Amino acid sequence: MNLVNPTTKYELIIKDLLSRIESGDYRHDIPICTERQLCLDYNVSRITAKRAINELEMQGILYRKRGVGSFVIQNYQSKEDHPLSISEASVPNKTIAFLTPFDRKGGIFTIIESANQQLKDRGYHLSIHIINNDPNKVKQDLRQLIPLDVGGLIYYPITDAIQLDVLNEFVLSEKPVLIIDKDINCQYVSNITIDNFDGGYKLAKHLLELGHHNITFITNAAIEQTSSIQYRFAGFLRARQEAKLSLTRDQFLYFAPSLKEDYIEEKSFMLYKQELKRLYELGVTGFVCENDQVAYTTLRACKSLGLSVPDQVSVCGFDDNQYATKAKIGITTIRQNFDEIGHQVATTIMQSMEDPSFVPTKIKIPVELIVRDSTASRFIKTY
């Protein structure tokens, strides 16, 4: 395998395993490793270990027995003299459709770029389709793809309404489907999400540790329709419950429409400012926002009200996208590893297309708290 100067942990694991395989240290009938074992042996995360194993499986070096471990394929021969690649004949159709409602926002293009690079290296073609948020139009867009020459589908739905009746047509045509971002309870569709629950928990915990005992959750999405926001809200609630804080409906949840856009109608902005003022007068000093765009709008509203951030109120976002650093004051937020999401997307869709016995999988990517100047220890001034 042509691995020149590996710089990442998973590449180092691959190089070491290959060296031991080619020296005859492993037999095809004895498992050489499990993800847990690699975590311990190399002091890496579960995702890093899984990535190394997946890579070797996709290269036709290892195969996995569920609940047992990974094995070297029988009669494996060293391929040091030429790069390993997927056989062009093994996957007749290497065009993959990627449907997303976003054209420029968030980290979606980082995900696409990361996935596309890996797919291109293996001879795949990624076809990007920007879709409308209207459910009927989405269904139409999906149906138009069915007769086209695509081998698999990656789909980023705007809500949990994923149009499963249409997706079933892909599945029954042996075109694997991968849903990203939304947590989908469907056993025959692969699903990749981030740990939204942990993100919401980390933000609320951060504010509570700073002394903000009256905190609120602000969302632009209907919680009952969007699992990613449900989990963020659930994590937020868990942190409050652990702190044994009483819950008052008027103080801990506010549904704010139309807060995601750069431009907000003056009437909507005035109503939002009134709500923030009301919450502050009720004693709320910490705001956990659904995402960085909502957090950015909240900073603007606070400034317009004369509320100092972070002296009087602290504001958190989610995603760590361009909105987190757009204002003069950086926003405390949750960072998604968009590169890793893209890698897992590419790996999963290729495995599902190449291996007839592939079992659809659910993958959850860890998140990281990024602390900036929009949060600080509680310091209440008279409004």
pLDDT per position in the chain (383 positions), as tens? Answer: 334 344 467 778 888 888 877 777 776 667 777 778 888 888 887 777 777 887 777 667 877 676 677 778 766 655 443 343 334 434 557 899 999 886 555 678 889 999 998 998 888 999 888 887 777 888 888 888 888 878 999 999 988 889 999 999 999 988 999 999 999 989 999 999 999 999 999 999 999 999 998 999 998 887 888 899 999 999 999 999 999 887 666 655 666 666 655 556 777 888 889 989 999 998 999 999 999 989 999 999 999 999 999 999 999 999 998 899 998 999 999 999 999 999 999 999 999 998 888 899 999 999 999 999 999 998 655 44
| Contact criterion met (CB below 8 Å) for 194 and 362 | no
Q: Write out the two tokens for 67.
A: 């609940």
Place of tokens 């005035």: 270
The C-alpha atoms of residue 21 and residue 25 are separated, in whole angstroms, by 6
The three-class DSSP label of residue 14 is helix
Residue 181, sorted as left (phi over 0), alpha (psi -120 to 50) or beta, turns out to be left
The C-alpha atoms of residue 261 and residue 263 are separated, in whole angstroms, by 5
Q: Which amino acid belongs to residue 136?
A: N
The three-class DSSP label of residue 225 is helix
| Contact criterion met (CB below 8 Å) for 347 and 118 | yes
Structural domains for the chain: 9-72 (1.10.10.10), 95-194+337-365 (3.40.50.2300), 196-336 (3.40.50.2300)
